[in-house]
Amino acid sequence: MRLLRVATCNLNQWAMDFDTNLRNVKESIARAKAAGAAVRVGPELELTGYGCEDHFLEQDTAAHAWECLKDILSGGYTDGILCSIGMPVIFKSVRYNCQVFCLNSKIVMIRPKISLANDGNYREFRWFSAWTFKDALVDFQLPLDISEVTCQDTVPFGYGFIQFLDVSLAAETCEELFTANAPRIDLALNGVEVFVNASGSHHQLRKLSLRIDSMRNATLACGGVYMYANQQGCDGGRLYYDGCCCIAVNGDVVAQGSQFSLKDVEVLDALVDLDAVSSYRASVSSFREQASHRTNVPFVKVPYKLCKPFQSGMVPTGPVEVMYHRPEEEIAFGPSCWLWDYLRRSRASGFLLPLSGGADSSSVAAIVGCMCQLVVKDIENGDEQVKADAMRIGQYKDGEFPKDSRELAKRLFYTVYMGTENSSEGTRSRAKMLAEEIGSFHLDVPIDSIVSALLSLFERLTGKRPRYKVDGGSDTENLGLQNIQARIRMVLAFMMASLMPWVHNKSGFYLVLGSSNVDEGLRGYLTKYDCSSADINPIGSVSKQDLRAFLRWAAVHLHYSSLAEVEAAPPTAELEPIRADYNQLDEVDMGMTYEELSIYGRLRKIFRCGPVSMFQNLCHRWCGTLSPSEVADKVKHFFKYYAINRHKMTVLTPSYHAESYSPEDNRFDLRQFLYNARWPYQFRKIDELVQDMDKDGKWVNSTEGELRRRKGVRSAEGGGMGVVAVGSANPSAGS
């Protein structure tokens, strides 16, 4: 029996912070050695941090990575343990994303990435080239200072595996786990038993199962040991890398790390039986046949043993049940950890949130409250780094530290209700109640006097005073009056964030939190430069439907009971006067429900539908519920306002990425922001299709009663498909 103890890790790296990154790498190696591991794998580009982006184009970045590697090699960290260390490497003037394998203060091999990630949030081809030569390993000339430490002039570079005396090992890097023609297939057929994957994979709702299934299936089909390492945390951008380092053997997960954590370093180890891998492969006839006429893969011979012989008491690690968080838990824990990293690394003193008492801002408040709960819990569990950060941010003195989440929130979280004459007592009381449950420092600030002052100034300049539509004003007046209120709130929020610490004799500044959701961004149902404009937004890529489910969950599990009342209230901007016969509602304003918006968003982004293909798809989906002409009206209505408001995405507050149909314009959803909002060609094609379908006569139309129901005014329960008429007013769709 060949027994091998292996270790993988989650590391909370920070792009371009070489001190932090090097410290975490060293700590992970030390912990792996202490556990008796013979192999350690770390995350992708761990020395630099994955999110360096255009900093990768700077020669300094690669040079500093080599300097950090020299520190590791000269410090004896790799003595007795094979370490895969991720860093950029320049070879013959071409930059590659590499894993550098080190053992006993020498470099065994450098493995460049073969398949680069270049979609969604990833732009690796902008900074790196893929290694395409698979026939042979080539010599890489080491930098002089590295050569002096290792006493090596050149080392093998390229695609291949490492053959030790008792085990063969090879690498995959992140994206290669998910490719159709994965490197591990040929490697497994060449006898490779252990695969290490250095990854930089971000969190996305409901995505973890894809990753876990890929690892399981990789070792189920080919056998072997699969070690997966990942970054964990906010490394300086919109993404949260969600860890979950894993070790899988022959289709079973035998070790799983945390998905969400405040820890900087988490190391996971397992004792694996390599003879079980050989036995598994030999039992599969098709594997034996394919391996017998394989394509040979180049390899490096290393005269060194990594395995241990069987001894009494040494038991291979058995399978574990994989832990998956519910989407509501993902919304709670992912953005909470992201906010904590952003807070401590920005050196800010806390957060300020305009808390309206509605679902979106209440969700953000609950996430900050969850963050405070996680911090206190980790301090209770003995995490000294979290404790030190909390003491600094909360400005504790004389050895005091946070012991209660509400007390911590009072120190680092301001909430502000900025009401007007259009605000209801219901939202005001819900905001106050939630603030008390979380523990934030809460202010109730009436802004009517500021609104009145601006309107008086406008009247003096123009001789006219705008009126709301319910009072006889035009759509233009109505929209302008709403935008004034919204933009005043933004200005006031930033003023208070900069000055309130001074008022309370604290140092530093507060970060303003935004609270617009992904559906509002997609539809453009927000005022440009209102409270959607902030420093960061933890829910900007979360759908309204998921947020409402989160509120119901948080009311129970975070013990913020007022959230149940928030969730039950109909969504409203409260920017227009409340009358006996009129109450502003979001879905009526938008002319579509949040459920419909989520459908449109997924079809537009995930299924890559333009207006015509979306119409065709929805005709099948809504067959028997809506007629073709009604589907056409809805699709046209969505694309019209999507086009009109796309410009707002160019200034959207940096948001936590959580949803696959996010319209975020910076890097994820790259499209123009000036459209012909009439879509003349596409809409004409839709009209032609409607005519053809009407002539065909096979379409099952809705019943007359169903039509009346759908065209009715949205009830307080609301949310169903089609309950809002397309021709509704649209007061928040403007500038």
**Active site amino acids:** 44, 113, 174, 356
Can you spell out the DSSP letters for 43-87? -TTTTT-GGGGGGGGSHHHHHHHHHHHHHHHHTTTTTTSEEEEEE
Strands 154-157 and 138-141: antiparallel
Distance CA 64, CA 164 (A): 30
* End-to-end C-alpha distance for the chain, whole angstroms: 70
Distance CA 27, CA 15 (A): 18
Please list the alpha-helical segments (H only) found in 204-353.
208-222, 274-282, 285-292, 327-346
Distance CA 433, CA 414 (A): 14
Tokens 């732009």 locate to 123
Distance CA 565, CA 386 (A): 33
Q: What SS3 class is residue 246? A: strand
The conformational region for residue 224 under phi > 0 = left, psi -120 to 50 = alpha, else beta, is left
Q: What SS3 class is residue 409? A: helix
**Contact between residue 87 and residue 201 where contact means Cβ atoms under 8 Å apart:** no
- Count helices and strands (H / E) in the chain: 23, 21
Instruction: Find the helix packing angle between 285-292 and 274-282, rounded to 10°.
Output: 90
Q: What SS3 class is residue 689? A: helix
The two three-digit tokens of residue 184, written as one number: 């591990």
Strands 308-309 and 350-354: unpaired
Strands (E), 403-550: 413-419, 441-446, 510-512
Distance CA 244, CA 325 (A): 11
**Contact between residue 625 and residue 722 where contact means Cβ atoms under 8 Å apart:** yes
Among positive and negative, which fits the CA dihedral 143, 148, 149, 155?
positive
* Burial (CB count within 10 angstroms: exposed 0-12, middle 13-18, buried 19+), residue 623: middle
Distance CA 515, CA 531 (A): 7
Distance CA 31, CA 34 (A): 5
Distance CA 113, CA 492 (A): 49
Distance CA 153, CA 454 (A): 72
Distance CA 234, CA 657 (A): 11
Return the amino acid letter for 614. Answer: M
Q: What SS3 class is residue 504? A: coil
Tokens 């959701």 locate to 517
